[in-house]
Amino acid sequence: MTRLIQKLSTAEYQIKQVSETAEQLQKEIKVLADRLDKASTENINLKTNLLDFTSKNKNLEKDLQELQDRPIVKALGELFSREDKKTIPIFKGKSTDKLISEWLHGAEHVARNNEWDDNQKIRFLSGRLKGEAFEWHKNYAEEEGDDLNYQDWKEALITRFQNTYDLATLEKKLSKLTQKPEEKSRAFVSRLNNLYDTIAGKEERADHNQTIIEGKLLNKVKKMRDHRKSKILLQGLL
């Protein structure tokens, strides 16, 4: 009898424990269910916000494009381009100027940074021409009229000023050529030969219409050049 009472008591205790555990589990399940509902609601709100953001972003892109197309914005862009244009040095077509190839290289770098189209390149680059170079541009633009385009303009500019003024600049550079500190003699001779050959090539192209007599004179001049080359080499070596 006593054992039966003990078993019943133990069973009641276990039932009570199970009941309490079940009650605790139900509470936890309710908490988890509430969290799940909240997360689901937040997820829906997040999706809604994302859709709203995407829609607004598209509208923003459209508004920006419309803004860029407005005359005032285009005018401001043109104004900034004009300011950047001033970073391009003046080219007058004189022997004291940069080589035309170097000048164009720097000018086209500015043009790329500002995303100028070909019409803007002609307008802004020609605005940096003065003196004889600008006179050439005016005459060339008048002759070309509606057929004026940047690539042909650029090539014509190089053709007009390269042989005459690049040659004078290179001659001046050759006369002052010296060996750099720590530069090997072989490297200096190589620089001298390259510069000398460049000048000789330009002079030959300038004299391509020579007569027989002029050709004989040119041969004598070449011999004089070789003597001059040797003299510059001896003067330039450290």
Per-residue pLDDT for the chain (238 aa), expressed as one digit of tens each? Answer: 666 667 666 767 677 776 777 778 778 777 777 777 776 677 666 666 666 655 655 565 665 566 555 555 444 445 445 557 788 999 988 766 677 888 888 899 999 988 899 999 999 999 999 999 999 999 999 999 999 999 999 999 988 887 555 666 677 777 777 888 888 888 888 887 777 776 665 555 444 444 443 444 445 445 445 555 566 655 655 4
pLDDT for the residue numbered 185: 82
CA distance linking residue 33 with residue 221, whole number of Å? 101
Residue type, 101: S
pLDDT for the residue numbered 51: 60
Pair of tokens at residue 34: 């509430």
pLDDT for the residue numbered 98: 72
pLDDT for the residue numbered 15: 72
- The whole model's pTM is what? 0.42
End-to-end CA distance of the chain: 125
129 phi/psi in degrees, rounded to 5? -90, 140
Angle between helices 167-175 and 185-206 (to 10 degrees): 150
pLDDT for the residue numbered 206: 47
| Angle CA 157–163–164, to nearest 5 | 95
pLDDT for the residue numbered 176: 78
pLDDT for the residue numbered 188: 81
CA distance linking residue 234 with residue 87, whole number of Å? 40
Which of 78-82's residues contact partners 24+ apart within 8 Å by CB, and which partners? 80/114, 81/114, 81/116, 81/120, 81/124, 82/124
pLDDT for the residue numbered 153: 95
CA distance linking residue 127 with residue 107, whole number of Å? 11
**Which region holds residue 164: left if phi is over 0, alpha if psi is between -120 and 50, else beta?**
alpha
Q: Which of 140, 34, 122 is nearest to 85 (CA)?
A: 122
Note the helical H segments in 88-176. 100-113, 118-126, 131-144, 150-161, 167-175
